[in-house]
A = this chain, B = another copy of it.
């Protein structure tokens, strides 16, 4: 009696005249008499057998799937992370489940809890913000989790952080060294951890350079090109003497560039512009944007690796939670430095299109 649906080890066993145990053993490379081996293999290929991964997962207790949950898949920073995580997962024989939380705290918590349904073996989570509920949910997580973001010390969960404080400082120092003295700062939403850190880095670097902190040079807005352009337009009205704009984000920086161009300012002669994240947008701008690479790809890669270590034989509950930080890197281009990065010499090559 075969026929039913797709072939199973039972169909193979019947056709080969052996037991299902032998089929399983042969197919998993355990020992068998050469003749048995032969008949099983032949039957399997004749039937076009493919093992049912679901049944395997049920028996084995793992799915070989990883979940990656991000606030917004469209954001270039997260795209860089997905890409690396995908690569690491694939190399290790894992599939990647992509979940968009739409920047919703309740959904983030739901993702953590849903580890309990055994759909995936582990989770890499990028929270938009860490609330006490997060701490609670993560502490009680029903499976291994790695957080990309800043986690309080007590939480027994691995985490990979960006160092936006020194990242911002890097940019400010660079601007100062380039002779700028009135450096505006366009921040994103300040109620997030990175928002606070970037502000801190900006302020600290100003202090370190002996420059005054002028609140009139600082503004916060939503992320987005248009928001950045409007914010900078207002800034230019209030402080027409500024000579540099540092933005918490490449999108904001693009907006800044547009606002400056619209008023006929030359970049970088009249005002320098620097962004953060070093996304593809940075090289798309004219002049190409100086930007601080906060290591999104690197963070993704590390997070995936840490998660896989937890899943590997040794990693279980043994090891205590680890914290690691990706070093920021300043990429200087034409928006702050007239001679830098001529067209055609950048590294963003090789993407394919449909």
Question: Is A239 engaged at the interface, CB distance under 8 Å to the other chain?
Answer: no
- A80–B86 contact, CB under 8 A? no
Q: Which one of A27-35, A130-138, A314-322, A342-350 contacts B?
A: A342-350
- A258–B119 contact, CB under 8 A? no
**Whole-angstrom CA separation of A77 from B352 in the bound complex:** 9
- Chain B's closest residue to A64 (CB) is B119
Quick one: CB contact mask for A268-294 with B, threshold 8 Å, 1 for yes? 000000000100110111101000000
- A351–B223 contact, CB under 8 A? yes
Contacts of A55 in B (CB 8 A): 58
Question: Is A155 engaged at the interface, CB distance under 8 Å to the other chain?
Answer: no
Question: Is A75 engaged at the interface, CB distance under 8 Å to the other chain?
Answer: yes
- B258–A75 contact, CB under 8 A? no
Number of copies: 2
- A54–B262 contact, CB under 8 A? no
**Whole-angstrom CA separation of A351 from B74 in the bound complex:** 7
- A350–B97 contact, CB under 8 A? no
Binding site secondary structure of chain A: mixed
- A63–B74 contact, CB under 8 A? no
- Chain B's closest residue to A248 (CB) is B353
- Chain B's closest residue to A341 (CB) is B258
**Whole-angstrom CA separation of A35 from B76 in the bound complex:** 53
Question: Is A337 engaged at the interface, CB distance under 8 Å to the other chain?
Answer: no
- A188–B258 contact, CB under 8 A? no
**Whole-angstrom CA separation of A346 from B227 in the bound complex:** 10
Q: Which of B119, B189, B230, B284 contacts A284 (CB 8 A)?
A: B284
- Chain B's closest residue to A233 (CB) is B344
Q: Which of B52, B128, B255 contacts A343 (CB 8 A)?
A: B255
| A/B interface sample: 13 pairs, CB < 8 A | A6-B142, A50-B117, A76-B280, A82-B98, A90-B100, A225-B284, A225-B343, A226-B345, A229-B343, A233-B344, A255-B343, A284-B284, A296-B354
- Which residues of A come within 8 Å of B, CB atoms? 6, 48, 50-55, 57-58, 63, 65, 71-80, 82-83, 86-87, 90, 95-100, 103, 113-114, 116-119, 126, 128, 142, 148-149, 162, 188-189, 194, 222-227, 229-230, 233, 248-251, 254-255, 257-259, 261-262, 277, 280-281, 283-286, 288, 296, 342-346, 348-354
